[in-house]
Amino acid sequence: MKRLASYVTGSWIEGEGKQSPLFNPTTEAQIAETSTSGIDFAAALSYARDRGGSALRAMTFAQRGELLRKIAKLIHAKRNEIIEHAIDNGGNTRGDAKFDIDGAAATLAAYADLGEQLGDTKILADGDGIQVGRTARLHGQHIITPRHGVAVHINAFNFPAWGLAEKAATAILAGMPVVSKPATATSLVTYELTRAIIDENIMPDGTLSLICGSAGNMLDFIGGQDVLAFTGSSITAATLRGGAGVVSRSVRINVEADSLNAAVLAPDVSLTSETGQLFVRDVVRDMTQKAGQKCTAIRRVFVPEALAEEFNGALCEELGGMRVGDPRADGVRVGPLATANQLRDVREGIERLAASTESLFGGTGDVTPVGDTGGKGYFVGPVLRKTTNPREAVVHEHEVFGPVSTVCVYNGDPVEAAKLVQLGGGGLVASVYSDDRDYLGAIIPEVASFHGRIYLGSEKVAPQSPGPGTVLPILTHGGPGRAGGGEELGGARGMSFYQQRTALQGDKGIIKRLLD
């Protein structure tokens, strides 16, 4: 039995007492265990602040970027090993595992490139300087510097590689040390990846720590220079927002939570067009990739009434080719859900939808998995529901975090479509499929303030589009309202969470020399 340790205060430490189990979601066999009991979290955070923070702040952006580039290359070199861990502990198909791992490497590489562009400096100017006195001598300039704290990252279960990388890349380039806490149930990938980084001696001492297991009382010790970034449920997010560090010590918190992402088909799109085929591919891929366990997965599909029959048929036909089962079996496109709790929650969510919607495909998700699973595993087949009442409350109020989507028929009007999309209460991404500029011009202003990103599917981008479910490091990831109200990535924008903007006021020559 593999026992996972945490990496804190420069050492690997195995927790004491009762261990939390990790399972293979295909066979339900226990494959590892971990605990954080006995770890001194106050010391862990202090060590990261004092040792890691000092080391990173002494480096330039270019030097920090080189650290990230080395990690990206290491992930590429260890790719096949990490894939095996993702299959064993996450139930990922090889394709799904690659999506997570390659996304991690690409994000690190993108921030490495940004570090190279920012160059050999430790302080950034924010905008142009301004004259604030009677003469140009008295000068004002905003500058950006790293916060003197630690970045605590609490990540979700579904992307154990990418989740680590996207937050750590931004924080480390900004100049803040990281304490990463992956979801315990699927922490094997994060553990093995972090161990490889530490074994290669890539990071300066204290700049990267790992908590494998419960966070215990760690958040009792975060303070005003620290930041907290969380990805997960809105219920947990609400608890974190009410913590003493956030409320009493003004700890910055960034949240990525639930999101009922929408895909809107415009009435100008025909099924035989490239845009129509792109719509079908994107919806099915985002329903089934990672077994639908993606924060950017499409949960609501809006189709004009006149096009509903043919597009619903095309979606069902495409879903019919998605084999569900053991991710190591030939031809399997959809593996199991990650945990027994996920299986329970998804089945309960499907039941809620079934009470108010009709089945288009998959019924309630019952499926006989492909491969030798021994009657075990947390399997749910793709489920596509439909409703002729596009304002059906359950569709817009509850996210089923699995391979489940609902088609809502609407009248084809872009303003009406926007109002329906808004019922989701704010999301990470909305996608609109149209080649009609007037339609796009009408709907985009109405949905933009409800989303962190809008993906426009059209004939001209169809051959090269990665789809709405792919998070790009150079574009903002996050969303308002139900989605948590946070922002991550976005190139240099993402670093602002880890940095302090300060106004300098004084002699122009001194300020210019400081920045040079």
> Annotated catalytic residue: which of 14, 166, 295, 318?
295
Residues 6+ away with beta carbon under 8 Å from 112: 65, 66, 68, 69, 72, 169
Residues 6+ away with beta carbon under 8 Å from 281: 318, 467
d(CA 338, CA 25): 6
446 is catalytic: no
The packing angle between helices 94-118 and 162-174, to 10°, is 10
408 is catalytic: no
> Annotated catalytic residue: which of 192, 256, 399, 487?
256
d(CA 161, CA 281): 25
Beta bridge partners of 358: 386
Output the furthest CA–CA distance in the chain (Å, rounded). Answer: 82
Dihedral of alpha carbons 242, 245, 251, 256, sign:
negative
Alpha helices in 369-448 (DSSP H): 393-397, 414-422, 437-447
Q: What angle do CA 52, 54, 56 make, to 5 degrees?
A: 70
d(CA 108, CA 166): 7
d(CA 78, CA 194): 12
Active centre residues (catalytic): 256, 295
